[in-house]
Structure 1
Amino acid sequence: MKKISSIKIGIVILSSVTIASCGNADKSAQQQGPPPAIPVTTYAVADQLVTTVDTYPGIVVALNEVELRAQVGGYITAIYVKDGQKVTKGQKLYEIDRTKYLAAYNSAKANAAVAKANRDKAKKDADRYTRLAEQDAVAKQRVDYALTDLANAASQVAAAEASVSSAAADLQRSIIVSPLTGTIGISQVKLGALASPGTTLLNTVSTNSPIAVDVAVNQSKIPHFAELQRMSLAVKDSIFSIQLQDGTLYKRNGKVVAIDRAVDPATGTIKVRISFPNAEGTLVAGMNVNLKVLNKAKTQQLVIPYKAVVEQLGAYNVFVVGDSSKVEQRIVKLGTQFGQDVVVSEGLKQAEVIVVDGVQNVRTGSVITTAPAAEANAQPAHPAAKK
């Protein structure tokens, strides 16, 4: 019996200790109170006119480029220019052996002279027989023969003159001249090389200024570029600029000169050509550059700092400050990012306040207080770290 009584007394004492411990824990929790406010920096959502920059990889192309090919056959007897030289329209570039073409021209002229002499004789005969026929001195048949001879002689003159023109053209084509003012490339033939008509490429000449940049843009951008092509102020407003491979900007303004006729079905893009002045020759055909296009919004748009955005499972969220300085997480739809800011197309209203610095420290329902950016970005110490 004494043993049982001792057990009962122990149970009573243990229960008393347990109740006392629970009471102390509740008092401790009550003394700690709610968690402290989290220091953050905030931003009041505002709208503004947005100017963004789109970048497209482009290739510099000559607006006018001509391949020089021999139109007559023969050996190259003279080259009048150096590789890469500046040339002017009509300047002599190459000469093909002219011996046979000069001989053909002289022969054609001689044949034309003979034909004209025969025509003149036939005309005199026709005139003489016509007068005699009027006096009934010759038969009418003889007059008809004379007029026929005159017509044949006139036809022979025409054929001879055509031969002269053809021979003169061949003689002229034996001298290749520049079809435009620009720069000639590296010669594809040497002195003494045999040039075949229509097939042998001698060289290429292209214009230097203006010059163009070709870019491929998504088909959804066609209306935008078509509008830029119609804009007379596009050049003045510096809509287009070029970034060279060394990172420097080409300080000349361009304009849209052509939009291709069709979209490439394989890529869904269309070629757009932008012309730039190039008096200094900075841009060279074939260069790879980046074309920068300014996009100036016609209406104001809501803009927030991009660092306020949190991405979770493919969705973009921000923390909006509500009543009693409590924050709630809200999904937003983003537009164009420019610099350190981004356009918000859905999910926020003007003048709403969002958390910018310190977003990593807050959760839905957190109470916040404003603080300097350095303090807001500091990670709070976890309670477990103090132990």
Structure 2
Amino acid sequence: MRKNLLVVWLLAGLAVALAAYFWPARQQTAAGISTGAGRQQAGDSADDRPVAVQVAEARQGDMAVSIDALGTVVAHNTALVRARVDGQLLAVNFREGQMVQAGEVLALIDPRPYQAALDQASGQLRRDEALLANARLDLERFRDLLSKDSIARQQVDAQAALVQQYEGVVQAGRAQVADARLQLDFTRITAPLSGRLGLRQVDAGNMVRAADTNGIVTITQTRPIDMLFAIPAARLDAVRARWHAGDTLQVEALEREGGRRLAQGKLLTIDNQIDPATGTVRLKAQFANADQALFPNQFVNARLTVATLRKVVLAPSAAIHQGVDGSFVHVVDHALRVSVRKVRPGVQSAGWVVIDQGLRAGERLVIDGADKLREGSLVEIPGAGTVDKDEHEAALPAGGRR
């Protein structure tokens, strides 16, 4: 009897121990299920929360296919004005920075020594011409006497030789006079070309010489003005094709900072060889520069327009993203839902990209705030509002409507 009672008590104790062990686990499982359901519900609610984004529309338009490069403005012509004869500089007839025309007198060298040399050469020439005239008269007389057998032929021949000798002397004298007159003209220093003067290198009263290397002043021709820039050799074929076809290629000069257009000109020439060290080829453009916006040795950005694509779909470059499968955009529909769409971008210029495939003009694209977006995300556009409740419910996927 006592043994049976002991067994009963052991079984009862075992039952209590088992109950105490399994009851907390059951409670914990139930709580976990309840918590998970709450989290899922909260997650669904968070997925429906709109994300603030900025959008821009794709549009149809023309896109200029251009090549950007660094350029250096150079004068169309540059000349160092130097003295061509030695002497004292009597006057300087220009102001630094002045615009001058070709042939304008810039400075004057003391002409008196050269005027004296011209007078001396002229006097010598007149003497030689008088001797020549007298020798010719004597030759005519001797020939008349020879016809009457009154003089020997040898004397006539000697007079003819004397005439030729004086003719040579006169010819040399005339050359000396021309040289002396030229040296006198060189005392008037004139502008060899039209352009802007630089800083004066010598003052009036100083002695100047033809051998001086610094010269008197430098003239740069800035209307028109040129620009040198280099493009990659890989882009040369497209440029040469239009160049050899006789087309005029437009070139823009832009500010280094800010990109403001300074001038618009045309491609003047292409260099005859590629630089093997850089893999580029140099080009020269020319600008009218009527407003003097460009200055010699100025650094600018060059933009060469190679072609123009007509009526293409354009998207802001900020809307294009790169993924594993290539380029894609976030398109916002009328219900403010996002769809991720793969696109094929083309030429890019001035913040816009040509979309060759995957997009239509007028579609709205996310340009800011795309980091938190995925397929089907709801967005709001500041200033444009969000969809109303009914439209929101209709836009929800199956199982997500409430």
- Band of TM-score, shorter chain: 0.7 to 0.9
Superposition pairs of residues 1-387 of structure 1, within 5 angstroms: 1-2=10-11, 3-11=13-21, 13=23, 16-17=26-27, 20=30, 24=34, 36-37=47-48, 39=50, 48-51=61-64, 57-200=70-213, 201-222=215-236, 227=242, 230-231=246-247, 240=252, 243=255, 250=262, 253-267=264-278, 268-278=280-290, 281=292, 283-291=294-302, 297-310=308-321, 317-319=328-330, 327=339, 330=342, 335-339=347-351, 341-344=352-355, 348-351=357-360, 356=366, 358-363=369-374, 366-369=375-378, 371-372=380-381
SS in 1 for 2:162: helix
Q: Deviations over 1:36-56 (max 9, x none)?
A: 456467888665422477665
Q: Is the 8 A contact 2:249 2:306 kept in 1?
A: no
| Distance (whole Å) between structure 2 residues aligned to residue 46 and residue 182 of structure 1 | 47
The amino acid across from 2:142 in the alignment is Y
Larger Cα-atom Rg: 2
Calculate percent identity across the aligned residue pairs.
Answer: 22
1:243 is displaced (CA, Å) by: 4.5
Q: Deviations over 1:179-215 (max 9, x none)?
A: 2333333221122322221434011223353334444
| Distance (whole Å) between structure 2 residues aligned to residue 246 and residue 4 of structure 1 | 87
SS in 2 for 1:367: coil
The amino acid across from 2:127 in the alignment is V
Structure 1 match to 2:392: none
Q: 1:273 to 1:37 in 2, by over 3 A?
A: same
Q: Is the 8 A contact 2:271 2:281 kept in 1?
A: no
Q: 1:12 to 1:39 in 2, by over 3 A?
A: closer
The amino acid across from 1:10 in the alignment is A
Q: TM-score, normalised by structure 2?
A: 0.71
Q: Is the 8 A contact 1:302 1:343 kept in 2?
A: yes
Q: Deviations over 1:109-136 (max 9, x none)?
A: 1221222222222222222222222232
The amino acid across from 1:360 in the alignment is D
How many residues are treated as equivalent by the alignment? 363
Q: 1:300 to 1:169 in 2, by over 3 A?
A: same
Q: 1:159 to 1:44 in 2, by over 3 A?
A: closer
| Distance (whole Å) between structure 1 residues aligned to residue 28 and residue 281 of structure 2 | 77
Deviates more, 1:268-277 or 1:30-39: 30-39
Q: Could you list the runs of 5+ residues in structure 1 that have no partner in the other structure?
A: 377-387
Q: TM-score, normalised by structure 1?
A: 0.74
The amino acid across from 2:97 in the alignment is G
The amino acid across from 2:350 in the alignment is F
Deviates more, 1:241-250 or 1:164-173: 241-250
Q: 1:358 to 1:160 in 2, by over 3 A?
A: closer
Q: Is the 8 A contact 1:39 1:358 kept in 2?
A: no
Q: 1:65 to 1:16 in 2, by over 3 A?
A: closer
| Distance (whole Å) between structure 2 residues aligned to residue 45 and residue 85 of structure 1 | 52
Q: Is the 8 A contact 1:243 1:292 kept in 2?
A: no
The amino acid across from 2:320 in the alignment is V
Q: Could you list the runs of 5+ residues in structure 2 that have no partner in the other structure?
A: 1-9, 387-402
| Distance (whole Å) between structure 2 residues aligned to residue 337 and residue 242 of structure 1 | 14
1:68 is displaced (CA, Å) by: 0.8
Q: Deviations over 1:307-358 (max 9, x none)?
A: 3334569x75545799xx785575865641423x33345xx42349786255
Q: 1:320 to 1:13 in 2, by over 3 A?
A: same
Q: Is the 8 A contact 2:328 2:340 kept in 1?
A: no
Q: CA RMSD in A?
A: 4.2
Q: Deviations over 1:62-88 (max 9, x none)?
A: 323321111112221232333333333
Q: 1:65 to 1:269 in 2, by over 3 A?
A: same
Q: Is the 8 A contact 2:348 2:354 kept in 1?
A: yes
| Distance (whole Å) between structure 1 residues aligned to residue 49 and residue 281 of structure 2 | 49
| Distance (whole Å) between structure 2 residues aligned to residue 249 and residue 120 of structure 1 | 73
SS in 2 for 1:128: helix
Q: Is the 8 A contact 1:62 1:211 kept in 2?
A: yes
Deviates more, 1:36-45 or 1:92-101: 36-45
Q: 1:368 to 1:38 in 2, by over 3 A?
A: farther
| Distance (whole Å) between structure 2 residues aligned to residue 292 and residue 359 of structure 1 | 32
SS in 1 for 2:97: coil
The amino acid across from 1:372 in the alignment is I
| Distance (whole Å) between structure 2 residues aligned to residue 64 and residue 150 of structure 1 | 51
| Distance (whole Å) between structure 2 residues aligned to residue 23 and residue 79 of structure 1 | 102
The amino acid across from 2:308 in the alignment is A
